[in-house]
């Protein structure tokens, strides 16, 4: 099933240039054909194409339905981007398919990459949303310094996964249902002592992601999958 992302205006759906190009040139859709759409905010639409060209396609809405697979928890993962783009892109795609609401990229002291291609990341997110038949597009934030992000964070439940010693919570002992949860995932060299201390000072709890040392992207995916499973129990 092909699903398009569209802007909904007064009973009509407008596809952006990229979606229009895919609709008109790749799929060779024609005016009068029915299509499935999402607005990225939680609603599915059935619509009929009335204008089709490579720059902009327009469709008349026929039916709308709120997505029934909405999760009863909010998950925000803030993670340091990996040196190799494909690794963090892989994690991003899988987390979206499993279920995530917001992603932020962190610039940490030990970060191997300090520049990200946000537009490319957004395309990966949107592709994963359509592939997994979801109706909500997760929010993707620009790279931000660890210090600035931690001080501004406001989620109800704030967690930090690090490899340093000390007392740590286990994910299965925490509650995620009906809560907004933020979890920090560090770079390959882990968060440094000052970053960990800063997080704890700002009401973050240390959590364990198991007994083995995980790569950054594996840790992000592990956290996303674990919280999804725990919230369904």
Residues 31 and 54 in one domain: yes
Domain count, the chain: 2
Model pTM score: 0.93
Pair (151, 131) in one structural domain: yes
The mean pLDDT value of the chain amounts to 95
CA dihedral in degrees (130, 80, 209, 193; nearest 10)?
-160
DSSP 215: P
Q: What is the CATH number of the domain that holds 188?
A: 3.40.1280.10
- Give yes or no for residue 232 having a pLDDT over 90: no
Do 112 and 211 lie in one domain? The reply is yes
CATH number for the domain spanning 48: value is 2.40.240.20
Q: Kindly state whether residues 50 and 132 are assigned to the same domain.
A: no
- Domain final residue pick, 24, 46, 66: 66
pLDDT at res. 89: 96
- DSSP-derived pairing of the beta strands 43-51 and 58-66: antiparallel
Decide the pairing of beta strands 180-185 and 74-79: parallel
Q: What is the CA radius of gyration of the chain?
A: 20
Cα 58 to Cα 60: distance, rounded to the nearest angstrom? 7
Domain range for 151: 74-232
pLDDT per position as a tens digit, 38-97? 999 999 999 999 999 999 999 999 999 998 877 899 999 999 999 999 999 999 999 999
- Whether residues 16 and 60 share a domain: the answer is yes
């Amino acid at each position: 099933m092909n699903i398009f992302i569209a802007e909904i205006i007064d009973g009509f759906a407008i596809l952006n240039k990229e979606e229009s190009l895919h609709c008109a040139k790749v799929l060779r859709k024609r005016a009068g054909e029915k299509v499935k759409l999402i607005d990225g905010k939680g609603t599915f639409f059935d619509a009929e194409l009335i204008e089709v060209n490579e720059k902009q396609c327009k469709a008349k809405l026929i039916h709308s339905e709120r997505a029934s697979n909405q999760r009863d928890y909010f998950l925000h993962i803030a993670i340091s981007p990996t040196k190799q783009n494909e690794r963090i892109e892989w994690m991003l795609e899988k987390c979206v398919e499993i279920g995530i609401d917001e992603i932020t990229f962190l610039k940490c002291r030990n970060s191997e990459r300090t520049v990200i291609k946000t537009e490319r990341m957004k395309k990966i997110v949107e592709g994963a949303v359509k592939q997994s038949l979801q109706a909500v597009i997760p929010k993707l934030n620009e790279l931000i310094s660890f210090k600035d992000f931690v001080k501004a964070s406001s989620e109800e439940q704030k967690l930090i996964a690090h490899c340093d010693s000390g007392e740590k919570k286990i994910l299965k002992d925490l509650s995620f249902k009906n809560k907004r949860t933020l979890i920090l995932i560090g770079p390959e060299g882990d968060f440094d002592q000052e970053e960990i201390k800063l997080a704890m000072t700002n009401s973050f709890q240390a959590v364990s992601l198991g007994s083995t040392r995980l790569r950054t992207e594996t840790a992000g995916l592990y956290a996303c999958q674990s919280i999804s499973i725990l919230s369904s129990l």
